[in-house]
């Protein structure tokens, strides 16, 4: 996918580091978005440079701020630990080795709320841009530059066309679609980027289909 | 955006447009945003840049680490103006934005936070001297953004990706292209300005002391701005660089990929691991980093001992 002008002219953000602060905040924000609400508990594994130099860059504050729903230009990021306590969010941080292939600014974030658990792996690739590489063990490639829905569905013939048909009926333009399977005939994870935000009722419509096991809406990251 | 400067020049040439118009058209085509909205957003970018510069120049307090803060103000007031007041103001403004950044203040990351001082310092200061109208400055940021996008696609704009040459180098190249374009330079001259900027910054490592975006970043923004202006000055006089700009960008990418990871923002090499640098890290409470720095240093001394004799 191409770099846009505002990947370069911006983001507007609180310092000090676009990769370690703004990107970290965006990762937290995406995780919150995938969970669908403010987590009650979060366990964050920091890899590479995130672990080593994150402290002085406010990386932890930024991830927590993102989990609370703040975007990188929100000066409240500075106080996110205090605000998390107020919001009933408990966070623990650990240092972790996510493997040789992992980008130096990577994190694995496990969150839960109301008994629901999600695990997301992502990295901050520079200039505040991010890439989510894994959701609940499935490989994805999600940058948050377009509204995205992530669907775990039965891997049977016709599933992709059913989903794209439902989306097209609503007049939404599909930008990209990626399908990953755990195994033939098992389950498939679809990452679908659309040009417009996905309306709530369409989301709920998909959510209620019997062959859809799990679905998440990841909003576009503007700031 | 464009994947190469050459592609950008060809698209602009074919449409009979200048580089700013071609970049705007491409952005509109790729994102679906309205032209007026893109321009309005760029005007907002300029506003944030101005606010950060003003905040930084007024700043008297030290940053939380004590490493920076008040330097921009001091330079602005005390600089001997060796090359005239304009030069001193460029340096002071580059430092100003980075000092705001160090305090978790609001800045515009162009193209990153660590290099955020350069584009505003160059463009806002020269605007006072050259009298560019505001809408021309908006167009110039389209040019700057296009250059940053090409570098991001072909090489890297981040210290973690390609060292400081990638980070402040991109910002300096962007500022240089913008100035060259504003002063009526041809697309070829804009290309030479980018190439001339990057050739002077090739190999520059990213070695933040204590892992903080302060030392040397604050000063590298000041000197990066100087690189950008110097390249624009030379390009506008018609000085060319014989290696095509895309090839210079590619070689910057190659040098960045081959750069040892300790010189890519990890704070495990360069100024960060000097004895003084390690002391600063310890004083800042970066225990984990200090441990790793000590281990790296021991290994380094070990390999030096068993190395070529």
Q: Do B289 and A4 touch (CB under 8 A)?
A: no
Question: A52 to chain B: nearest residue by CA?
Answer: B289
Do A95 and B213 count as a contact with CB atoms less than 8 A apart? no
Cβ-nearest to A15 among B107, B144, B157: B107
Distance from CA of A187 to the nearest CA of B (A): 32
CB contact set of B215 (below 8 Å; sequence gap of 6+): B67, B68, B208, B209, B271, B280
Q: Mutate which of A3, A72, A94 to test chain B, going by most B C-beta atoms within 10 A?
A: A3
Q: Do A9 and B3 touch (CB under 8 A)?
A: no
Q: Is residue A4 within 8 angstroms of chain B, CB to CB?
A: yes
Any A CB within 8 A of B158 CB: yes
Q: How far apart are CA B13 and CA B16, in angstroms?
A: 5
Of B89, B86, B68, the C-alpha closest to B77 is B89
Residue contacts between A and B (CB atoms, under 8 Å): 171
A chain contacts of residue B38, beta-carbon cutoff 8 Å: 5
What was the pLDDT predicted at A184?
63
Say which of B108, B116, B286 has its CB closest to residue A55: B286
B288 touches chain A (CB under 8 A): yes
Give the span between the Cα atoms of A219 and B215, in whole angstroms.
36
Q: Using a CB-CB distance cutoff of 8 angstroms, which residues of chain A are in contact with residue B210? A: 56
Q: A48-57 and B287-306 are packed helices; what angle lies between their axes, rounded to 10 degrees?
A: 130
Q: Locate the chain A residue with the closest alpha carbon to B161.
A: A126
pLDDT tens, residue order, chain A (223 aa): 578 999 899 889 999 988 889 999 999 999 998 888 999 999 999 998 788 777 777 899 999 999 999 999 999 998 999 999 999 999 999 999 999 889 888 999 999 999 999 999 999 987 788 999 998 888 888 888 889 999 989 888 888 888 989 998 988 899 889 888 766 668 888 999 998 888 888 999 999 999 998 888 888 876 4
Backbone angles phi, psi at A37, to 5 degrees: -170, 180
What six digits make up the tokens of B166?
């990638």
> Is B41 an 8 Å CB contact of chain A?
yes
Give the torsion sign (CA, B148, A126, B96, A63): positive
User: How many whole angstroms separate alpha carbon B36 and alpha carbon A134?
Assistant: 37
Cα dihedral B293, A103, A123, B170, rounded to 10, equals: 80
- A209 at the B interface (CB within 8 A)? no
> Which of B112, B213, B292 lies nearest to residue A52, judging by beta carbons?
B292
- Asked if B152 and A126 come within 8 Å (Cβ–Cβ), the reply is yes
pLDDT of residue B307: 38
B145: nearest CB among A8, A105, A128? A8
Given CB atoms, is B53 within the 8 Å cutoff of chain A?
no
B146 Cα to chain A: minimum distance (Å): 6
Task: Please identify among residues 106-145 of chain B the ones whose CB lies closer than 8 Å to any CB of chain A.
Answer: 106-114, 116, 141-142, 144-145
Q: Nearest CA to B202 among B268, B146, B248?
A: B248
Whole-model pTM? Answer: 0.85
Q: CB distance B158–A22 less than 8 Å?
A: no
Per-residue pLDDT of chain B (309 residues; tens, 9 = 90+): 999 999 999 999 999 999 999 999 999 999 899 999 999 999 999 999 999 999 999 999 999 889 999 999 999 999 999 999 999 999 999 999 999 999 999 999 999 999 999 999 999 999 999 999 999 999 999 999 999 999 999 999 989 889 999 999 999 999 999 999 999 999 999 999 999 999 999 999 999 999 999 999 999 999 999 999 999 999 999 999 999 999 999 999 999 999 998 999 889 999 999 999 999 999 988 888 888 888 876 554 444 444 343
- Spatial contact of B265 and B159, defined as CB atoms under 8 Å apart: yes
* d(C-alpha B189, C-alpha B180), whole Å: 7
Of B30, B261, B288, the CB nearest to A2: B30
CA B283, chain centre distance (Å): 28
CA of B281: which chain A residue's CA is closest? A56
Q: Which residues of A touch B149 (CB under 8 A)?
A: 2-5, 7-8
What is residue B220's predicted lDDT score, i.e. its pLDDT?
A: 98
Question: What pLDDT sits at residue A223?
Answer: 44
Q: Kindly tell me the sign of the dihedral angle through the C-alpha atoms of B294, A54, A109, A179.
A: negative
């Amino acid at each position: 996918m191409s770099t846009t002008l505002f990947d370069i002219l911006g983001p507007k953000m609180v310092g000090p580091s676009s990769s370690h602060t703004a990107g970290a905040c965006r990762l937290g924000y995406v995780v919150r978005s995938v969970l669908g609400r403010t987590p009650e508990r979060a366990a964050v594994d920091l890899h590479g440079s995130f672990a080593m130099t994150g402290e002085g860059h406010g990386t932890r504050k930024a991830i927590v701020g993102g989990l609370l729903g703040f975007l990188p230009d929100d000066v409240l990021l500075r106080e996110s630990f205090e605000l998390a306590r107020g919001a009933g969010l408990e966070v623990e941080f650990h240092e972790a080795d996510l493997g040789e292939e992992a980008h130096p600014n990577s994190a694995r974030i496990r969150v839960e709320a109301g008994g629901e658990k999600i695990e997301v792996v992502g990295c901050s690739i520079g200039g505040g841009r991010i890439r989510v590489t894994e959701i609940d063990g499935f490989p994805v490639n999600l940058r948050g530059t377009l509204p995205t829905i992530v669907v775990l569905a039965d891997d049977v013939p016709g599933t992709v066309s059913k989903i794209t048909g439902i989306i097209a009926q609503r007049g939404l333009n599909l930008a990209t679609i990626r399908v990953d399977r755990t195994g033939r005939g098992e389950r498939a994870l679809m990452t679908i980027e659309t040009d417009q935000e996905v309306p709530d009722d369409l989301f709920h419509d998909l959510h209620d289909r019997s062959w859809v096991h799990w679905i998440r809406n990841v909003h576009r990251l503007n700031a | 955006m464009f994947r190469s400067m050459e592609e950008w020049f060809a698209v602009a040439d074919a449409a009979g447009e200048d580089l700013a118009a071609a970049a705007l058209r491409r952005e509109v085509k790729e994102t679906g945003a309205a032209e007026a909205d893109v321009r309005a957003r760029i005007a907002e970018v300029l506003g944030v840049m101005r606010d950060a510069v003003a905040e930084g120049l007024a700043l008297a307090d030290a940053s939380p680490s004590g490493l920076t803060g008040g330097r921009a103000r001091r330079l602005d007031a005390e600089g001997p103006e060796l090359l005239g007041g304009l030069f001193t103001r460029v340096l002071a403004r580059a430092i100003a934005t980075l000092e705001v950044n160090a305090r978790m203040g609001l800045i515009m990351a162009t193209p990153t936070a660590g290099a955020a001082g350069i584009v505003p310092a160059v463009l806002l200061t020269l605007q006072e001297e050259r009298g560019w109208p505001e809408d021309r400055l908006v167009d110039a940021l389209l040019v700057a953004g296009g250059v940053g996008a090409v570098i991001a696609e072909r090489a890297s704009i981040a210290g973690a990706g390609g060292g400081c040459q990638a980070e402040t180098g991109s910002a300096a190249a962007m500022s240089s292209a913008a100035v060259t374009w504003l002063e009526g330079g041809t697309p070829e001259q804009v290309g030479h300005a980018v190439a001339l900027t990057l050739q002077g910054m090739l190999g520059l490592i990213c070695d933040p002391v204590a892992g903080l975006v302060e030392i040397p970043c604050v000063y590298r923004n000041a000197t990066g701005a100087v690189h950008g202006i110097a390249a624009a000055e030379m390009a506008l006089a018609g000085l060319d660089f014989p290696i095509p700009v895309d090839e210079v960008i590619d070689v910057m990418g190659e040098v960045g990929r081959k750069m040892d990871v300790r010189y890519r923002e990890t704070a495990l090499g360069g100024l960060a691991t000097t004895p003084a640098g390690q002391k600063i890290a310890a004083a800042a409470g970066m225990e984990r980093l200090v441990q790793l720095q000590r281990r790296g240093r021991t290994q380094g001394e070990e390999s030096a001992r068993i190395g070529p004799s």
